[in-house]
Amino acid sequence: MPIVSEHDVRAALKRGERKLQVPADAIVTPQALEIADRFGLPVRYGEPPHPVAPGIDPARAVARTLVRRSPRWVAPPRRPGLAPTRFTRIAFVGAGMVGTTAAHLAAMSGMAAELTLIDVVPGLAASVALDIEHASGITGSRTRAKGGTSLKLVAGAEAVVVTAGRPRSPGMTRAGLLEINGRVVRDVGEAIAAHAPNAVVIVVTNPVDEMTYQLWRASGLPDEQVLGMAGTLDSSRFRNALAEAAKVSPADVSAVALGSHGAEMVPVVSTATIKGRPVREVLPEDKIQACVRDAIDGGAQVVALRKTGSAFIAPAHAVIEVLEAMRGAIADPVPVSAMVHGEYGLEGVFLGVRARLGRTGVVEIIEDRLDEAELAALGKAAASIKQRLGIATES
């Protein structure tokens, strides 16, 4: 009695098979059937050697149910894309800590044939590019890197990651950076429009939602080509906080943060789960709210400890998650700051939402089910972002 597991299904997918042929008496596990259905791989049973008796064999039913990879609860893996593509070139505008770390991770992943780093400080971007290439003798990375000071180097990039700007210092809010970094991203937006008009732009510069809007306006690019890296980082911080509170692995937590990348962040508690159970069945409300505060204040906590500069490792990984989703290595939607067009009853603002991404940018915004308080908080976040942008425009 052969057993067909999810490993067999994934192996068939990798071989490019159009159907999975199994023996007539095979036990196909529920996990295998789920994976096959998810990727559209039909399961075909062979002809039985003799007539099948009516009814269900109890032994087969029990065996089918008990086949598991592990006797404990296992977090479902993130859905991979079937055929991830490779970028020809990714440009990083800003060779500070976030830009440098993200470029290094991109080179390690092999997601692009070439990386271009740009920074106004003479020699900085070129030194980082050279350092990345030197590491390839150890890592085996086939990604080439180059660096310079001219924004013309974005030419030919399919994705542009913008990290340029002043980082936060202790006591400084993201909103306090609005005017300082607004001038930077507007210049970058104009350069991208001139030299890489087909590139998808990922804005990391704070305050992310406002900077994404200003770069979009300055560039004149379609709004689906411009997005902000915010929700990916915020959601990671929220999951980590919940995992620590519940004493489980972050992989056992499913949770997302929407809204503004700042004080108006909306960590979504109503749909959060820990090991598949609603979070409110696992943790008391006071611990949940402490996790919400940790997600909102996570960036400030890092800034307070560092004294100079801000977080860079987690933001860099968040950038890579967005790029992976764009190239199809991640099939699931990811939270980003995207222009809303009626979703949640909101219009005309870049806001943290879950979106399906592709090589052209935002393909679809996923409108999640929120409770009344979360929906109201999301509307408040949108209004606050609009207000800050209006003040900046009038000054």
The pLDDT value recorded for residue 73 is 55
pLDDT by residue, tens only, the chain of 395 residues: 678 888 888 888 878 788 888 888 788 888 788 788 878 888 888 776 555 455 555 555 555 555 545 445 556 666 666 679 999 999 999 999 999 999 999 999 999 999 999 999 999 999 999 999 999 999 999 999 999 999 999 999 999 999 999 876 676 665 668 888 999 999 999 999 999 999 999 999 999 999 999 999 999 999 999 999 989 999 999 999 999 999 999 999 999 999 999 899 999 999 999 999 999 999 999 999 999 999 999 999 998 999 888 899 999 999 999 999 999 999 999 999 999 999 999 999 999 999 999 999 999 999 999 999 999 999 999 999 999 998 543 43
> 337: helix, coil or strand?
strand
Last residue of a domain, one of 211, 228, 245: 228
**196 and 240 fall within a common domain:** no
CA 257/CA 297 separation, integer angstroms: 13
**282 and 296 fall within a common domain:** yes
> Of 7, 261, 317, 341, which residue is the catalytic one?
261
**217 and 301 fall within a common domain:** no
In a domain, 333, yes or no: yes
In a domain, 97, yes or no: yes
Asked if 103 contacts 115 with a C-beta cutoff of 8 angstroms, the reply is: yes
**258 and 371 fall within a common domain:** yes
Q: What is the CATH number of the domain that holds 236?
A: 3.90.110.10
In a domain, 269, yes or no: yes
Query: What digits encode the pLDDT tens for the residues 151-196?
Result: 999 999 999 999 999 876 676 665 668 888 999 999 999 999 999 9
Strand partners, 356: 364
Q: What is the CATH number of the domain that holds 208?
A: 3.40.50.720
In a domain, 78, yes or no: no
Q: How many CA atoms lie within 13 A of 390 on its CB side?
A: 8
Q: How many CA atoms lie within 13 A of 80 on its CB side?
A: 8
In sequence order, which residues have a C-beta less than 8 Å from that of residue 169 and are 6 or more positions away?
303, 308
CA dihedral 167, 170, 174, 176 (to 10 degrees): -100
Strand partners, 351: 338
Query: How would you classify residue 182: left for phi > 0, otherwise alpha for psi between -120 and 50, otherwise beta?
Result: alpha
In a domain, 75, yes or no: no
CA 122/CA 103 separation, integer angstroms: 18
**28 and 162 fall within a common domain:** no
Number of domains in the chain: 3
The pLDDT value recorded for residue 78 is 64
CA 35/CA 14 separation, integer angstroms: 13
Q: Which residues span the domain enclosing 24?
A: 3-66
In a domain, 77, yes or no: no
Structure tokens at 254: 């499913």
**374 and 242 fall within a common domain:** yes
| Sign of the C-alpha dihedral computed for residues 380, 234, 159 and 146 taken in this order | positive
The pLDDT value recorded for residue 230 is 86
**60 and 209 fall within a common domain:** no
**287 and 325 fall within a common domain:** yes
For residue 13, give the DSSP letter. H
**211 and 267 fall within a common domain:** no
Give yes or no: 50 in active site: no
**53 and 181 fall within a common domain:** no
The pLDDT value recorded for residue 59 is 52
Asked if 353 contacts 338 with a C-beta cutoff of 8 angstroms, the reply is: yes
The pLDDT value recorded for residue 149 is 98
CA 209/CA 337 separation, integer angstroms: 6
Query: What digits encode the pLDDT tens for the residues 317-351?
Result: 999 999 999 999 999 999 999 999 999 999 999 99
The pLDDT value recorded for residue 71 is 47
In sequence order, which residues have a C-beta less than 8 Å from that of residue 110 and are 6 or more positions away?
86, 141, 142, 143
**236 and 224 fall within a common domain:** no
In a domain, 240, yes or no: yes
**390 and 251 fall within a common domain:** yes
